[in-house]
Amino acid sequence: MPVIHVESDDTFLNHLSHNGIVVVDFTASWCGPCQRITPVFERLSHEYSARGVKFLKVDVDECPDTARNNNVTAMPTFIFFKNLVAIHRMQGADPASLEAKLREIENLAAAAAESGVAGFMDLSSFINKAQSECLNECDKNNLGHALLPGSGFYLQSDCDEQLIINLAFNQPVKIHSLKLTAPASNGPKRIKLFINQPRTLDFDQASSMEPIQTIDVAIDDLVKVNPIPLRFVKFQNVQNLVLFVENNQSGTDCTRIDNITLIGQTVTGTNMSEFKRIAGKKGESH
């Protein structure tokens, strides 16, 4: 599918209403860099359209309201949308960066499809592993193993059944649900969740503080890897998540977690549905 030229502000949202990724090139006829990157944008449209990506071109002089609503102040500006939400923007005529970002966003969309929860993605790629840690982990079976799905390794507690897992993110996220893979015998049972702690909690703090949410994990949730819903409204701007595993299914001294998956969204993005005209005519104040 070729690049679609958006002819007016009134038609932009119609073109944007697309179940998938939409890349919008904000351009101008007088902009030299815009003209130089046009062949690259057109080539990418032919390559990625077959994979469900839609490409739009918006002339800022023809669609000034659309440019203003999207805070476009320099050309070219490329904005990537997913289900009407702006998930990334970049300025400048850099073909390599444009193609790399498109490839990255397509991979994230694939992760969203694989998450099993409609409208949300696997947040694994947003976890900052270097800043994450686990207290009472076994040296040979540490947190890193539980963040590598399908590795065959696992996280295991050391001295007793309790674990404190601090997951840091490289950007703020919204967390919708949690998936845990673990044995029915000694997988986690009761988990207390905390967010945005200035440092990793110790066991006394985790035991005494009021959590954002407490989860009682069913064996089926571990064996079938069912999404465990969180109180989404409580997890809207999460920079770090602490999971205090209080006990396990069998009450033994060893807790095991094969994999931890968080399902949600990134915080960045603007919902373009908010820009639908409510009253008045174009050019009027309202």
Instruction: For residues 15 and 90, state if they share a domain.
Output: yes
CATH of the domain at 14: 3.40.30.10
Domain containing 99 equals 4-113
Residue 252 or 269, more confident: 252
pLDDT average, residue stretch 224-231: 92
| Model pLDDT, residue 35 | 96
pLDDT at 285 over 70: no
pLDDT at 274 over 50: no
| Model pLDDT, residue 111 | 58
pLDDT average, residue stretch 186-208: 96
Instruction: For residues 154 and 255, state if they share a domain.
Output: yes
Considering 82, 113, 144, which residue would you say is the last residue of a domain? 113
Instruction: For residues 125 and 205, state if they share a domain.
Output: yes
From 34, 63, 134, 138, active-site residue: 34
pLDDT average, residue stretch 263-268: 86
Active site residue 31: yes
Considering 84, 113, 142, which residue would you say is the last residue of a domain? 113
Least-confidence region, from 146-150, 196-200, 203-207, 281-285: 281-285
Specify if 276 maps to a domain: no
Instruction: For residues 195 and 125, state if they share a domain.
Output: yes
pLDDT average, residue stretch 146-167: 92
| Model pLDDT, residue 279 | 33
CATH of the domain at 168: 2.60.120.470
Domain total of the chain:
2
Instruction: For residues 73 and 156, state if they share a domain.
Output: no
Q: What is the DSSP string of the chain?
A: -PPEEE--HHHHHHHH--SSEEEEEEE-TT-HHHHHHHHHHHHHHHHHHTTT-EEEEEETTT-HHHHHHTT--SSSEEEEEETTEEEEEEES--HHHHHHHHHHHHHHHHHHHHTSSTT-EE-GGGB-GGG-EEETB-SSS-HHHHTSTTSS--EEBSSSS-EEEEEEEEEEEEEEEEEEE--TTTSB-EEEEEES-SS---HHHHHHSPPSEEEE--HHHHHTT--EE--GGGSSSEEEEEEEE--BTT--S--EESEEEEEEEES---BGGGGS--SS-TT---
Specify if 282 maps to a domain: no
Least-confidence region, from 238-242, 250-254, 279-283: 279-283
Instruction: For residues 150 and 64, state if they share a domain.
Output: no
| Percent of the chain whose predicted confidence (pLDDT) is above 90 | 69
Q: What is the mean pLDDT of the chain?
A: 87
Considering 70, 86, 113, which residue would you say is the last residue of a domain? 113
Specify if 281 maps to a domain: no
Question: What tens digit of pLDDT does each residue of 241-265 get?
Answer: 999 999 999 999 999 999 999 999 8
Instruction: For residues 159 and 97, state if they share a domain.
Output: no
Least-confidence region, from 27-36, 118-127, 207-216, 229-238: 118-127
Instruction: For residues 127 and 98, state if they share a domain.
Output: no
Least-confidence region, from 3-17, 28-42, 168-182, 210-224: 3-17
| Model pLDDT, residue 122 | 85
| Model pLDDT, residue 109 | 64
pLDDT at 273 over 50: no
pLDDT average, residue stretch 17-32: 88
Specify if 274 maps to a domain: no
Specify if 285 maps to a domain: no
Specify if 242 maps to a domain: yes
Question: What tens digit of pLDDT does each residue of 167-185 get?
Answer: 999 999 999 999 999 999 9
Specify if 247 maps to a domain: yes
Instruction: For residues 156 and 208, state if they share a domain.
Output: yes
Specify if 97 maps to a domain: yes
pLDDT at 54 over 60: yes
Instruction: For residues 261 and 137, state if they share a domain.
Output: yes
Least-confidence region, from 107-121, 130-144, 160-174, 239-253: 107-121
Instruction: For residues 142 and 107, state if they share a domain.
Output: no
Instruction: For residues 126 and 84, state if they share a domain.
Output: no
| Model pLDDT, residue 65 | 94
pLDDT at 28 over 80: yes
